[in-house]
Structure 1
């Protein structure tokens, strides 16, 4: 009997990679990581029923791990953005001149 591939393993791997890349773009990757984790959960349940029937479980595990790492990086990115807004204020973050003045004040301390 020929082994078949898990239906979403490649998609989970791609979404896991995109979730890590997406953390650099205002935490857009959080969507990719959540979708990847949901898809991975479905395929893992399918694999648990009959492990001998599938051969690309390694891709699924790798994609799931990347999605978890991407989720953590995206959460850190969101927390950092909130901390910057709380510390500097929204007006300072939107004006580069005010931001430079604020940074000079902090260096002078």
Structure 2
């Protein structure tokens, strides 16, 4: 599989794959990796659901899967797993990284 911008590597996918549940009944779902990559594309690009590239399939299907995984706790499990391995020793957020809007500093409004 060719890795495109914003998509999981094979190593990352192998780490997450066991946490994604598959229903035993009904029609087989679209590939979980494609769905997760589509959700990551939305999150990382900041685009709206309707702007999802066609290679991921219907944005409605991706949105439905996002809602399912959000509601059943799949995302929480993934974040907890990945959070266990994070190195927070050098984590730093300050005003050089997070920029406030000019109006929060008292600038004139309406310009």
Q: TM-score range by the shorter chain?
A: under 0.3
TM-score, normalising length: structure 1: 0.25
Q: Which TM-score applies when normalising by structure 2?
A: 0.25
Q: Which has the higher contact order (CA 8 A, sep 6+)?
A: 1
Larger radius of gyration: 1
**Structure holding more helix per residue:** 1
